[in-house]
Chains A and B, each alone.
Chain A
């Protein structure tokens, strides 16, 4: 095992290198560019191919073709690129094809903005992709490898999120895994179904309502049973690499009066804020939501108690309703007798800076006036 300093983009590229996809199709977009530039250079080193296609729409459609023919594939994008893929994102799920895609989270225009928030990926929540949000460069690397494990077991595509610039362009110390260990964790892709001239099949046909319904229900069933695959994945990953990952992480929650719920790199800032507040005697904790789809409702219900307040830090808004994460958490506690007060905070859209002091201010403000519970709080 060795350690190296690298950006989140290079950590992703390293994860891809260790997973050895046969084909990578991508179109450049800030802040994803460094990932694909590195991959264009290194893909031939494991016998892979990198093709700089003419748009994101083409990238995701080419990935669909590649996996349908039995190859392991990869793509990465961001923001408008992800939005342009939308039609094929849905198709991937219906077609039950595995893929790992990294999305460098970035705001959506208009107006143009290249900085991080989660509007791009959370807008894809109903496509049926699994979604995992990373806090660090190491987690980005590890999640790419885990993504293939999960995706190929569940036959559903996995989207791995890193914050644009904050993760993609920032260097951290990263543990570089030995290829043999990755091979032990992640077997080569052995498709159950593929286009094969020796065993001809036809994909992508029309289905009558009854069959269509049955196939859609099977997707939902896979999501429900998918938690087992996540558990196996996390256990095996811990055995092989010694690092524990989970659907979510609870930090100092047991005795907390107030819990922040957050996803992505903002978790790091919130950790510092929680430590600061603890030093001042404030009883706060945080939940890092790592896996957003499938939504870990039961895990959250176990960690959060009714007497606690939860401040949800949303970096995406479902306009006319609530912050996207708030909606999810509130619905997870619907019909639960002892449910917490959930505060809907909208923060850091378009990369607006967040400092630990700001989070402390939010916490104090909410404590001072519980009426905030009924409002959307724009910080």
Chain B
């Protein structure tokens, strides 16, 4: 009787655990956009969402697994990729998406990343790179730009950051792209491609953390977006070694690698497993 107002529904509501909203992400944080892009890409790609799982490590980005209304797992810090590997190998039918932070995937979990790429485990890894450890209060990460200030590099970071696409390429990833959360359409399309790519697929998403990284580097949320607009250039044909993170020189975005090679299970089965087992599982692919 009193139902005058129509219920307002967010178009992604069915993919979210509504009971967990509001989320923990700060105003101006880019993770929400990276997360939405991932959800839209999952839907648009036509993959069977009943057979899709999201795995995250620990960090603000890692909260993704807690908000998606699919099977999901929030692992310990750094272990999203080995957990996802186990899951994918146990149930090859699944589409396994890893959604996590730069610290989680490239500092404490860095070793897992390079080895999963080397084996070409059929995973889609989306890394929210906000240049620091947001969750623990903005400490220096393996991705923090040279001279940038963080809570553990108060006078400036003395170390050079990883070039993540180069690392992914050199380790053996078969899909490699980099976008920012400002380039939402490209980002979404790229995640869609990554989901459909068979093999280890990696998408780096540059994303503001105004509360920690931004505050210490005199960059509010809007400034970050301006930088993503003014100091980036899209070059899909760029070579992986040209992709250093250096905002003064400009940052290259694009889809850099898409190639095919046998996955971890393909190689294992061809090399190690008796034919009769493989025949029995054919229907699964």
Contact = CB atoms under 8 A, between A and B. Distances in A.
A127 interface: no
The residue among B58, B74, B110, B151 with the most chain A CB atoms within 10 A of its own CB is: B151
Interface string B142-155: 10000000011110
A37 interface: yes
Which applies to chain B's interface (DSSP): helix, strand, loop or mixed? loop
Contact of A54 (B74, B76, B108, B136): B108
A29 B137 CA distance: 9
A36 B107 CA distance: 17
Interface string B216-231: 0000000000000000
A112 B63 CA distance: 12
Nearest to B154: A41
B142 A54 contact: yes
Nearest to A30: B136
Given A28-B137, A55-B78, 13 more contacts: A28-B139, A33-B136, A33-B139, A36-B139, A36-B152, A37-B137, A40-B153, A50-B152, A52-B153, A54-B108, A56-B108, A80-B77, A112-B74
The residue among A41, A50, A55, A56 with the most chain B CB atoms within 10 A of its own CB is: A55
Interface of A: 27-30, 33, 36-37, 40-41, 50, 52, 54-56, 80, 109, 112
Nearest to B133: A28
Nearest to B137: A33
Contacts of A56: 108
Interface in B178-193: none
Interface residues of B, number: 18
Interface of B: 58, 74, 76-78, 107-108, 110, 133, 136-137, 139-140, 142, 151-154
Nearest to A44: B155
Closest 4 CB pairs of A and B: A40-B152, A55-B108, A54-B107, A52-B152
Contacts of B136: 28-30, 33
A139 to B, nearest CB: 25
Contact of A80 (B74, B76, B107, B152): B76
Contact of B139 (A52, A55, A80, A112): A52
A33 B74 CA distance: 22
A37 to B, nearest CB: 5
Contacts of B137: 28, 33, 37
A80 B59 CA distance: 14
Contact of A109 (B76, B133, B139): B76
A203 B186 CA distance: 54
Contacts of A36: 139, 152
Contacts of A40: 151-154
B139 A37 contact: yes
